[in-house]
Structure 1
Amino acid sequence: MARRIAGQTAIVTGAGQGIGREIVRTLLEAGAQVVAVARNEVGLERLQEEMQAGRRLLAVACDIRDPLEVERLFEVAAERYGRIEIVVNNAGVGLFAGIEETPVACVDEMIDTNLKAVIFMCQVAFAHMKRNGGGQIVNVSAVLGQEALPHSAAFSASKWGVNGLSEALRQEGRRYGIRVAVVAPGETQTDFAGTPAYNKPHGLKPETVADSVRYLLMQESDVQTAHLVLRPDGAGA
């Protein structure tokens, strides 16, 4: 029997725009309570106005690169909703340039946001889910996290790390009833890494990625798709 999302509580990072916003919308439509997380308070305010979900949506401004802020995020979420069953680590940043033209500050930002923040989120999620009988984590990676291309070195490295982290945690979480999966989209029609959505006519729609996250969360209990790759139809990575 397919797992139910209705009535569960989900934390979604990078929720202020793009894929994250569509994941929030999809989970709300499925009946979940959602804690929407982003650094940009303006984006979160727009999200609350757009979704009009009342108490089923809690917007929290948080820098998930800071482990202390991550701990506080889970405290705030638990105070509002109690048990947290779902965590979707979607927040990410990117810069595509030759390795010699990639500033150290940009390397730090990609590793801190795309990988270290996911580790921090998973650490606190595991502690919470162990106490409460299990849960589900979906980490948003990228096709470039397994099929690297020129001018993507630091970004690919960060997402490659997410894939390794997720597989290790999938195995670690089994005994505790914690399921960990990855969705790896190719180019998507969102504003990302300095390229606006309108310049990606053949990219995936953000709602397609969101639907894939919901699919992973609703799988039958006797099966798990651990790594779901999404490629734009007729395009490359």
Structure 2
Amino acid sequence: MARLLAGQTAIVTGASKGIGRAIVRHLLEHGVNVVAVARNEYGLERLQEEMRVGKRLLAVACDIRDQLEVERLFEVATDRFGRLEIVVNNAGVGAFAPIEEIDAVMLDEILDTNLKAVFYMCRAAFGHMKRHGGGQIVNIAALLGLESEAHASAYCASKWGVMGLSEALHLEGRPFGIRVATVAPGPTQTEFAGSSSSTRHPALRPETVAEGVAYLLTQGDDIRMSQLVLR
């Protein structure tokens, strides 16, 4: 039997634009309370204005690369909504260039955002979900977390890392009622890594990725799906 999402609470990172914004909208339409997280405060303000759902949407400016800020995020979210049943780790950055052009600053930005921040969020989520009888985590990876291409070394490394992290947590979470899965989309119609959405055709719509997240979240207890690949 499919799960009902209405009345549950979700944290969504990278929520101010693109795929994250589409996920927020889709979950709100399913009756979920959403904690929308991003570094871009202006983008979060616009999100709140556009969604018009009152207290069901809480926007929180947070740098999830910082462990202390992640801890504060969960405190703020639980103060507002109590139990958190869902965490969607969507925030990500990309840089595509020959390896000689990927300097230490760029490498740290990619790995800290795409992998370490996901680890921090999952660790905090596990602590909360173990205390409250379980929950669901969906990590947004990428097709380049399963495949590779030239000039994507750092990005591929980060997304392959997310896939490995998610598969390990998929197993680790089972005894505690914590379901962990990944959505791995191909090119999507968003402005990502300096690429305009108008140049990314053919490509997935952000709404398609959001529907994929909802599909995973609504699966019954008899299904143990850990990966959803969208091409």
TM-score, scaled relative to structure 2: 0.99
1:144 pairs with 2:138? no
1:182 pairs with 2:186? no
| Residues 18-58 of structure 1: per-residue CA shift (max 9 Å, x gap) | 00000000000000000000000000000000000100000
Task: Determine helix, strand or coil for the equivalent of 1:24.
Answer: helix
1:227 corresponds to: 227
CA distance in 2, matches of 1:103, 1:16: 27
Residues 14-93 of structure 1: pairs in structure 2 closer than 5 A:
14-93=14-93
Task: Determine helix, strand or coil for the equivalent of 2:110.
Answer: helix
| Residues 174-211 of structure 1: per-residue CA shift (max 9 Å, x gap) | 00000000000000000000101011121100000000
The alignment yields a C-alpha RMSD, in angstroms, of: 0.5
| Residues 206-226 of structure 1: per-residue CA shift (max 9 Å, x gap) | 000000000000011100221
1:235 corresponds to: none
1:215 counterpart letter in structure 2? Y
2:193 corresponds to: 193
CA distance in 2, matches of 1:96, 1:160: 15
TM-score, scaled relative to structure 1: 0.97
Task: Determine helix, strand or coil for the equivalent of 1:184.
Answer: strand
1:10 counterpart letter in structure 2? A
CA distance in 1, matches of 2:146, 2:66: 27
CA distance in 1, matches of 2:201, 2:131: 45
| Residues 96-135 of structure 1: per-residue CA shift (max 9 Å, x gap) | 0010111211100000000000000000000000000000
CA distance in 1, matches of 2:81, 2:158: 32
CA distance in 1, matches of 2:131, 2:42: 34
| Structure 1 runs (4+) greater than 2 angstroms displaced | none
2:126 counterpart letter in structure 1? F
Task: Determine helix, strand or coil for the equivalent of 2:172.
Answer: helix
Percent identical residues:
68
Number of residue pairs matched by the alignment = 231
CA distance in 2, matches of 1:26, 1:119: 24
2:131 counterpart letter in structure 1? R
Structure 1, unaligned runs of 5 or more:
232-237
Structure 2, unaligned runs of 5 or more:
none
2:128 corresponds to: 128
CA distance in 2, matches of 1:209, 1:223: 20
